[in-house]
């Protein structure tokens, strides 16, 4: 394990972007396998007497795994690398914040939550929708249904994760740290999609509609 970690460190030093791209693709692929497993057994548990023995068996959709892995490689890897490196440099050079200080960490967490978090979720839902063969209107409806609940629920977790990340983890390993938590996040997003039009999602729609009407009035 130590040899593997040293090999990764050497790859990251020699080819930072390429290493982040490949590692992100691998981790997101594993994350989707975990997500499909959670989704399957959750579905079986909800209706154990109404499905056949064949349906109870787990069948991994490898096409979806490849699609999710490609998202990690094409978006999370390169964008995440330049985002964390660039944000770190911006706070140090432009704003001249002391690294690891309270102001530095708080600002980085806030900007990450306001900018990168929503963009990442929006791109993920949109990409996965089109990749699964859905039409534009279907993807738009799915994003309207799932984006706000995911943003609100993740908004209570990711800031805590990122405080530890930006305070204690060197910037070149911050994306790896985030991707590791994305293994759990993939399970959450898969579970969220499985809920379809659950009643608690309707509450977010009503809340969003009320806020929109208040702005217009």
The beta-carbon contacts of 80-83 under 8 Å, at least 24 apart in sequence, are: 80/20, 80/24, 80/116, 80/175, 80/178, 80/179, 81/16, 81/17, 81/20, 81/21, 81/175, 83/112, 83/116
Residue 55 half-sphere exposure toward CB, CA atoms < 13 A: 11
**46-77 pLDDT, tens per residue?**
666 667 776 778 889 999 899 999 999 999 99
Rg (CA), the chain: 19
**6-54 pLDDT, tens per residue?**
999 999 999 999 999 999 999 999 988 988 887 788 777 766 666 777 6
Rounded distance between C-alpha atoms, residue 72 and residue 180, angstroms: 12
Read off the pTM.
Answer: 0.82
Q: What is the pLDDT of residue 45?
A: 75
Q: What is the pLDDT of residue 171?
A: 95
């Amino acid at each position: 394990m130590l040899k593997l970690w040293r090999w990764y460190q050497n790859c990251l030093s020699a080819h930072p972007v390429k290493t982040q791209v490949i590692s992100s693709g691998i981790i997101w692929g594993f994350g989707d396998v975990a997500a499909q497993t959670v989704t399957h057994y959750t579905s079986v548990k909800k209706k154990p007497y109404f499905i056949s023995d064949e349906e109870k068996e787990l069948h991994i959709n490898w096409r979806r795994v490849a699609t999710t892995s490609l998202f990690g490689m094409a978006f999370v890897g390169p964008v995440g690398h330049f985002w964390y490196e660039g944000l770190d440099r911006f706070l140090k050079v432009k704003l001249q914040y002391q690294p690891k200080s309270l102001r530095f960490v708080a600002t980085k967490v806030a900007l990450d939550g306001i900018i990168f978090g929503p963009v990442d979720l929006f791109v993920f839902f949109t990409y996965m929708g089109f990749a699964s063969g859905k039409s534009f209107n279907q993807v738009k409806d799915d994003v309207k249904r799932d984006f706000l609940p995911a943003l609100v629920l993740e908004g209570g977790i990711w800031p805590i994760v990122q405080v530890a990340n930006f305070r204690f983890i060197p910037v070149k390993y911050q994306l790896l740290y985030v991707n590791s938590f994305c293994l759990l996040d993939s399970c959450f997003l898969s579970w969220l999609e499985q809920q379809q039009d659950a009643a608690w999602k309707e509450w977010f729609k009503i809340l969003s509609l009320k806020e929109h009407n208040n702005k217009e009035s």
